[in-house]
C-alpha cells in the first residue's frame, strides 16, 4: 500500500463525507459559474441591463445556496450518519425555501428582470444539483465505513 493510501480501518465517516463534499464542489463549481455566465449574457441580450442584473442576482443566490449545502455537509460530517442525512434533507428544503422567498421578495424590483432572475437561478440550481449527484455517483469515496469499537 502506498504512503498516501489508507486502510479501511483508518477511514472514518467524517473523512468520507468531507471527501465527498470536496469532490462535489470540484465537479460543480466551474459548471455552475459557466451556467451563470451564459444566463447573464443571454439575459443581457434579451432584456438589457435589467436582465443582466436579474441574472447576476439569480446566479449569485443559486451559487450561494449550493455552497451552503456543501458547507452543511462538512459541518455535520462528524455527527451520526442519520443526522448527516437529516441535515442534508433539511438543507435541501432550506434551499428551496430560500430560493422561493428570494423570488417573491425580488419580483417587484424595477432594477432587475424577474424572468432573468428566475431562469438563471433555476438553471444554476438544476445544473449544480446534477453535477453534485454525478460526482457522488462517480466518487471514489468509500460509501460504507466499517464499524469501529465493536459496534
At 70-107, the pLDDT tens digits run 899 889 989 988 888 888 888 888 888 988 898 889 98
Give domain status of residue 126, yes or no. Answer: yes
Cell of 12: 472514518
Give domain status of residue 141, yes or no. Answer: no
Looking at the 3D structure of the chain, how many domains does it have?
A: 1
| DSSP assigned state of 109 | -
Give domain status of residue 151, yes or no. Answer: no
- How far lies 52's CA from each of 24, 66, 127, in Å? 28, 21, 20
Give domain status of residue 143, yes or no. Answer: no
Mean per-residue pLDDT of the chain:
86
DSSP SS3 for 8: coil
Pairwise CA distance, residues 35 & 66, whole Å = 13
DSSP SS3 for 138: helix
Domain that holds residue 85: 13-136
Residues whose CB falls within 8 Å of the CB of residue 74, separated by 6 or more in sequence, listed in order? 17, 18, 21
Give domain status of residue 96, yes or no. Answer: yes
Give domain status of residue 25, yes or no. Answer: yes
- Decide: 72 and 94 in contact? Cβ < 8 Å: no
Give domain status of residue 51, yes or no. Answer: yes
Residue 13 — very low, low, confident or very high, per pLDDT cuts 50/70/90?
confident
Lowest mean pLDDT among 59-63, 93-97, 112-116, 123-127: 93-97
- pLDDT of 141 over the 70 cut: no
Pairwise CA distance, residues 40 & 151, whole Å = 52
Entry pTM: 0.82
Cell of 112: 432587475
Higher-scoring residue by pLDDT: 135, 36: 36
> What was the pLDDT predicted at 1?
43
- pLDDT of 139 over the 60 cut: yes
State the alpha helices, DSSP H only, in 48-113: 49-76, 81-106
Residue 136 — very low, low, confident or very high, per pLDDT cuts 50/70/90?
confident
Residue 149 — very low, low, confident or very high, per pLDDT cuts 50/70/90?
low
Rounded (5°) CA angle 132-92-19: 40
Amino acid at each position: 500500500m502506498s504512503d498516501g493510501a489508507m486502510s479501511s480501518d483508518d477511514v472514518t465517516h467524517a473523512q468520507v463525507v468531507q471527501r465527498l463534499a470536496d469532490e462535489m464542489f470540484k465537479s460543480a463549481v466551474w459548471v455552475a459559474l459557466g451556467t451563470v455566465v451564459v444566463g447573464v449574457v443571454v439575459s443581457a441580450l434579451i432584456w438589457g441591463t435589467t436582465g443582466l442584473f436579474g441574472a447576476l442576482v439569480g446566479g449569485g443566490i443559486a451559487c450561494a445556496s449550493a455552497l451552503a449545502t456543501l458547507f452543511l455537509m462538512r459541518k455535520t460530517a462528524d455527527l451520526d450518519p442519520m443526522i448527516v442525512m437529516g441535515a442534508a434533507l433539511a438543507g435541501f428544503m432550506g434551499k428551496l425555501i430560500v430560493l422561493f422567498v428570494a423570488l417573491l421578495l425580488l419580483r417587484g424590483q424595477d432594477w432587475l428582470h424577474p424572468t432573468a432572475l428566475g431562469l438563471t437561478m433555476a438553471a444554476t440550481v438544476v445544473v449544480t444539483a446534477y453535477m453534485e449527484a454525478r460526482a457522488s455517483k462517480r466518487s471514489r469515496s468509500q460509501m460504507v465505513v466499517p464499524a469501529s469499537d465493536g459496534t
